[in-house]
Amino acid sequence: LQWLLDNYETAEGVSLPRSSLYNHYLRHCQEHKLDPVNAASFGKLIRSVFMGLRTRRLGTRGNSKYHYYGIRLKPESPLNRLQEDTQYMAMRQQPIHQKQRYRAAQKMDGMAESASNSNPHTTPEQSVAAQSQHHQQFIDVTHVFPEFPAPDLGNVLLQEGFTLNDVKTLQVLYRRHCEATLDVVMNLQFHYIEKLWQSFWSPKAPPSDGPTALPSSEDEPEGTLPKDKLITLCKYEPILKWMRSCDHILYQALVEILIPDVLRPVPSTLTQAIRNFAKSLEGWLMNAMSEFPPQVVQTKVGVVSAFAQTLRRYTSLNHLAQAARAVLQNTSQINQMLSDLNRVDFANVQEQASWVCQCEEGMVQKLEQDFKLTLQQQSSLDQWASWLDNVVTQVLKHHEGSPSFPKAARQFLLKWSFYSSMVIRDLTLRSAASFGSFHLIRLLYDEYMFYLVEHRVAQATGETPIAVMGEFGDLTSLSPTLLDKDDIGELGTEEDPERALGEPLVKRERSEPGHSLQDI
């Protein structure tokens, strides 16, 4: 009992093979010359220690294994040093031949190189496991995966050969697939996502009947869905819309797991691994869905693009935050910034900006005074974050509960950016000694303000932040709550409406450097 408590702990969303735990136990008994109990008795023992532990059968058809769901190795456990453990962590839905490939992968998304150099006797697998365990303290491994909504078929009639049971089977299979994706990401095994998507969207059909199978559970009957049925079901607009909603929930959960606090310091190796992961996502999904209709691929890739872009933005914001901490903790730099800021002609700034922004003069002056006071008090980064959050609350409180809230939030971002650029312009013309510090602070505050506003809009519209920020380029997928009449009127004047609907905005911006302001 003490050995179990010393080496294992409960953790929602994590699974371990039953055979893994029993092998650890047998090794422990062998090392301490104890007589082991059989596997069945050991299972009862585990359940008596970790109450509420569930069992699931996970893996592809023919290669599935029983797993304990809701338990993991403690990061400080000596069992993490065992080579076999690297083959057990987050291996849901992975065939045997992929586990054999793991030994050849001497780096995990660039995360293991530094660890492997620290000890010449450490194997690559041990380095990967140790690095992963170390990084897990910076992510949210306790995150609860929200339930998915049910598809609203409305009056849509399914074509001959399809039944509501097929739709229900798709619901179960897609939920399991998303749970597997979440488990793999939660264990930082990013390189398995490509194979995971391949196994769902482009499975290698068995020679007998060719069904697509996903991990089964003891609590639910195992279901199958032939690939041609999967493709046909995805063509239905209600199914596609439901799948997009599920993707928004999944990817928002992944963002909150990987980056639970955008301002908290994290290792550069973890940040780089997340950025590499984001860079690969679109290509992996497009390869996996190469046989699907363009409309289905476009919808799926649109959400994945928004997810990848969010990861890039949040990791950049985190990087800026760490750089800004050094500035905000330096007394001499703060004093120089205050001296330079007091020389800025704010009356001239307000005079020029008021014509463009039409902001209330009293509010602008209050923000100016509060900014100087907060800087003078040498506030920490967390205190600055609280101040910025209060600014957003003050500015948008009159629009709460109003359909115009999203537009008011976007207008605030434009005005905030315009005012800050005018202040930076004045500092530049005066050759302020602290210009570099102000430039860094301005980048951080603009980006963090963007982060705050997107979450406020998401809360006001009942959408996820990924849905709010990633879907404006694809009008066919927009929720009506995200657009008001003025937005729809402006978008309706687009010279080339077909092009506007063609592909996600994130993709267009990257692929067309010369896009016009109207396109944006």
DSSP-derived 3-state class of residue 12: strand
DSSP 236: S
Residue 126 has a pLDDT of 56
Query: Stretch 262-277: mean pLDDT, rounded?
Result: 92
Task: Assess whether pLDDT exceeds 70 at residue 425.
Answer: yes
pLDDT band at 153 (very low <50, low <70, confident <90, very high): confident
Which pLDDT score, from 0 to 100, does residue 62 have?
54
Give the separation between CA 87 and CA 389, rounded to whole angstroms: 44
**Res. 59 pLDDT band, cuts 50 70 90:** low
Look at residue 391 and tell me whether its pLDDT is greater than 50. Answer: yes
pLDDT at 254 over 80: yes
pLDDT confidence of 476, banded at 50, 70, 90? Answer: very low
Cα separation, 274 vs 189, in Å, equals: 11
Q: Name the pLDDT band for 135 (thresholds 50, 70, 90).
A: confident
pLDDT digits (tens, 9 = 90+) for 427-439: 999 999 999 999 9
> In whole angstroms, what is the distance from residue 126 CA to residue 122 CA?
6
Contact predicate 77/6, CB 8 Å:
yes
Among 25-39, 200-214, 376-390, 434-448, the minimum mean pLDDT is found in: 200-214
Q: Which phi-psi region, left, alpha or beta, contains residue 487 (left: φ > 0; alpha: ψ -120 to 50)?
A: alpha
Domain residue limits, the chain: 1-77, 126-203+223-316, 331-475
Mean pLDDT of 226-253: 92
Q: What is the Cα–Cα distance from 173 to 48, expressed in whole angstroms?
A: 31
Report for 113-122, 199-208, 283-292: range of highest mean pLDDT: 283-292
pLDDT at 227 over 60: yes
Segment 32-52 mean pLDDT: 79
Length of the chain: 520
Residue 171 pLDDT exceeds 50: yes
* Per-residue pLDDT at 511: 41
For residue 466, CA distances in Å to 9, 40, 49, 224, 296 come to 32, 45, 39, 31, 19
Residue 18: how many CB atoms within 10 A of its CB? 18
Question: pTM for the whole thing?
Answer: 0.66
| Mean pLDDT, the chain, whole residue set | 77
110: left (phi over 0), alpha (psi -120 to 50) or beta: left
| Reported confidence tier of residue 99, pLDDT bands at 50, 70, 90 | very low
Where residue 362 falls among pLDDT bands split at 50, 70, 90? Answer: confident
CATH no. of 1-77:
1.10.10.10
pLDDT exceeds 60 at position 479: no
Question: Quick one: pLDDT at residue 17?
Answer: 83
Task: Place 63 in a pLDDT band, splitting at 50, 70 and 90.
Answer: low
pLDDT of residue 263: 92
* Percent with pLDDT over 70 in the chain: 74
pLDDT at residue 129, as a whole number: 61
The tens digit of pLDDT for each residue in 302-340 reads 999 999 999 999 999 999 999 998 889 889 999 999 999
